[in-house]
Amino acid sequence: MIPALVNLQPEALWKHFDRLAAIPRASTKEAAAREYVAALAAKLGLESVEDDVGNLVVRKPARPGREGAPMALLQGHLDMVCEKNESTVHDFDVDPIKVVRDGDWLKAEGTTLGSDNGVGVAAALAVMESTDIAHGPLEFVFTIDEESGLTGASAFPGGLLKSKYFLNLDNEEKGTLCIGCSGGVKTTARRRVRFHPAGRGSALRIKVFGLKGGHSGVDIHQGRGNALRIMGGVLQMLLDRLPIEVAEVNGGSAQNAIPREAAALVLTDSSRESDLRSLVATAEAGYKADFGAFDSGLRITVEKAERPARVLDPSDAKQTVALLASLHHGVLAMSPDVAGLVQTSTNLATVNTKTDVVEIVTSQRSAIESSMLAAARMVATVCGLAGFEVEHGGKYPGWKPEPNSDIVRKLQELHQKLFGEPAKLIAMHAGLECGVIGEKYPGMQMVSFGPTIVDPHSPNERVLISSVESFWNYLKLVLENL
Vertex 284 angle, CA 278 and 286, to 5°: 105
Peptide bond preceding 117: is omega within 30 degrees of 0, i.e. cis?
yes
Residue 420 CB-half CA count within 13 A: 0
Query: Given 18, 30, 79, 316, which residue is catalytic?
Result: 79
Residue 281 to residue 63: CA distance in whole angstroms:
66
Residue 81 CB-half CA count within 13 A: 31
Peptide bond preceding 10: is omega within 30 degrees of 0, i.e. cis?
yes
Query: Given 18, 30, 145, 146, which residue is catalytic?
Result: 146
Element (H, E) at 378: helix 369-385
- The yes-or-no answer on residue 313 being catalytic is no
User: Of the candidates 92, 89, 59, which has an alpha carbon nearest to the alpha carbon of residue 73?
Assistant: 59
User: Of the candidates 270, 295, 268, 299, which has an alpha carbon nearest to the alpha carbon of residue 283?
Assistant: 299
Element (H, E) at 362: strand 357-366
DSSP 199: -
Residue 275 to residue 303: CA distance in whole angstroms:
14
User: Of the candidates 230, 304, 222, 227, which has an alpha carbon nearest to the alpha carbon of residue 265?
Assistant: 304
Q: Which residues contact 360 (CB under 8 A, 6 or more apart)?
A: 188, 189, 190, 320, 323, 324, 327, 348, 350, 351, 352, 383, 388
DSSP string, 325-347: HHS--EEEEE-SSSTT-EEEEEE
At residue 458, φ and ψ (nearest 5 deg) are -140, 160
- The yes-or-no answer on residue 455 being catalytic is no
From residue 256, give the alpha-carbon distance in Å to each of 101, 155, 232, 347: 27, 19, 20, 8
Q: Annotated active-site positions, please? A: 79, 146
